[in-house]
Amino acid sequence: MTLETWLNHNYDHLALSARNITFGHELAEELLHYSLDELMHKSNLQEILDSGGATFYTVRIMLNQWKSTTSPFYRIYRQPSDEIQEGSLCYEDPAETEEEMSNKMKVIHKELDKLPWYDRTLFEIFYQEGHTMSSLSRETGIPRTSISLTINRVREHLKKTINNGNY
């Protein structure tokens, strides 16, 4: 079966599933399209279509993307804008001088140098290359959970250092 044939036969059902998952939220269609895009980028797409599991697979993607606060969909579409964004270590203060910002960056680099090699390297790759935790997991072969725990541990350490004024 081709992807186009499968979509023609299942789109209405998938759209209804998206509305049910989101409880009628205005992002239901966006969630469906995001999930279909995820499906289309699978290396084994044809195998999934031929097995008859594409509908189940797409619904699982939608559920995971909608319910997980760490999912890319959540970060892009649903995360409240007043929260600290992924990749941010502290709120930017418009009154902060360049010198204060420079001091913070020096502290961050100094603190990163104190960390174990694994934590420091994973954190630097994550931010410098703009990865999500899932994409870094795919690239490195390290389980996503391990990456998440490490990145969050480093973030918390840096936030405490900066917020305690240790610079």
| pLDDT tens-place string over residues 90-102 | 444 555 567 777 7
Same domain, 28 and 68: yes
Question: If pLDDT is split at 50, 70 and 90, which confidence band does 134 have?
Answer: confident
User: Do 67 and 122 belong to one domain?
Assistant: no
Specify whether 38 is located in the same domain as 8.
Answer: yes
Residue 83 pLDDT class (50, 70, 90 cuts): very low
Is 86 inside any structural domain?
no
Q: Tell me if 92 is assigned to some domain.
A: no
% of the chain residues with pLDDT over 90: 18
Check whether residue 68 and residue 37 sit in a common domain: yes
pTM listed for this prediction: 0.48
Token output for 87: 């990749």
pLDDT band at 80 (very low <50, low <70, confident <90, very high): low
Q: Are residues 13 and 61 in the same domain?
A: yes
Residue 107 inside a domain? The answer is: yes
Predicted pLDDT of residue 14: 92
108 belongs to a structural domain: yes
The answer to whether position 115 is within a domain reads yes
Q: What is the pLDDT of residues 135-164, one digit of tens each?
A: 888 888 888 888 888 888 898 888 888 777
- Claim to verify: residue 102 and residue 70 sit in the same structural domain: no
Instruction: Report whether 34 contacts 18 (CB < 8 A).
Output: no
For residues 74 and 122, membership in a common domain is answered with no
Tell me which of 12-16, 32-36, 131-135 is least confident. 131-135
Is 89 inside a domain boundary? no
Residue 87 lies in a domain: no
Q: How many domains does the chain have?
A: 2
Residue 83 included in any domain: no
| Residue type at position 138 | R
pLDDT at 9 over 90: yes
- For 15, 26, 109, 154, the CA distances from 145, given in Å and listed in that order, are 31, 31, 25, 14
Say which CATH number the domain at 151 has.
Answer: 1.10.10
Range of the domain at 129: 98-163
* Helix locations, 68-116, DSSP H: 72-73, 98-114
Residues 6+ apart with CB under 8 A from 129: 136
The verdict on 74 and 15 lying in the same domain is yes
